[in-house]
Amino acid sequence: MKSTCLSLCRVWAVTCCLCALGAVEAQAITIFPTRVVMTDKERTAQVEIVNSGTETESFNIQLERKRMTETGEFQAVSGEAAPGEFFADQIVRYSPRRFTLAPGAGQTVRLMLKMPEGLPEGEYRSHLSVSHVPEASDVLSLAKQENEPADITIKLTAFATIAIPVIVRHGTLNAQLEIRDAVLRPGTGKEPPVVEFTLQRTGTMSVYGDIAVTTVAENGAVEQVAAVNGVAVYVPNATRKARLTLRSKEALPAAGALRVTFTEHRTAKPMAEASIPLR
């Protein structure tokens, strides 16, 4: 584990609602890394989880099946796998599955790959979910509110739940990416322009990287006007729709081009790019 909690990547996933007569408390979780990739040669991994809240909390860990939509949202999978879709929860073991942490304390969750003989080549993915376990006092408080509706003071507690992808790559895999249908949508009034495009993935593995939008003026000057990091197109998805808002209308040169690039994580050369003429 890192020497300090500040060195961990913070991921906050809190669901809450505000009530005019109530107070809201939220539990916070810090997790690192935010993505796990295991292979035939790297069959173990670990995830560090820290209670970033102010109270002692208990947490449950489980592997869940999720499917990404064309726009990047995740949906729980309850039925059969789609064609070309493989899940990792059948081949990844993890421990512990439940633990309690004091404020600022951390827990290491260890993962191990157990692949059976004859496992088909491909990319397997499930999501490691970390969820808060309500204390008995929380449950009793909710029951009291139901039995005593005359009480006007309502205490709502927002429980934090996060999930990170756990990916297993088995065999010799590959991926290619294209940026298609890139268009510039002018902003209405004072609204900034928007760039829309489609990420087109082919091959047997997912892609994960950063997207940047830069202007290239006629004199050769280059300036970044929009960016987003950690964008994935997961197997078996072939496409993902993307939409980036530019910094401002003034950031666009009168003439030149707008360049959209996708660069894989921890690489320097763009994996795919597209150009939009500016006139």
Residue range(s) defining the domain that contains residue 208: 175-278
**What pLDDT was estimated at residue 11?**
43
Are 163 and 248 in a shared domain? no
Domain count, the chain: 2
Of the residues 113, 143, 170, the one at which a domain ends: 170
Are 181 and 264 in a shared domain? yes
Are 40 and 159 in a shared domain? yes
Are 131 and 84 in a shared domain? yes
Mean pLDDT for back-to-back runs of 10 residues, the chain (279 residues): 38 34 54 96 97 92 96 92 94 97 97 95 97 67 55 57 95 97 90 96 97 94 95 97 93 92 94 95
Kindly report the CATH number assigned to the domain that includes residue 113: 2.60.40.10
**What pLDDT was estimated at residue 99?**
96
Of the residues 170, 194, 217, the one at which a domain ends: 170
**What pLDDT was estimated at residue 189?**
83
Are 205 and 186 in a shared domain? yes
**What pLDDT was estimated at residue 3?**
36
Region label for 118, one of left (φ > 0), alpha (ψ between -120 and 50) or beta (otherwise): left
**What pLDDT was estimated at residue 26?**
42
Are 202 and 148 in a shared domain? no
Of the residues 119, 136, 170, the one at which a domain ends: 170
**What pLDDT was estimated at residue 2?**
40
Are 30 and 160 in a shared domain? yes
**What pLDDT was estimated at residue 93?**
98
Are 127 and 205 in a shared domain? no
Are 223 and 115 in a shared domain? no
Are 22 and 126 in a shared domain? yes
Are 148 and 23 in a shared domain? yes
Q: What is the pTM of this model?
A: 0.82
Are 24 and 131 in a shared domain? yes
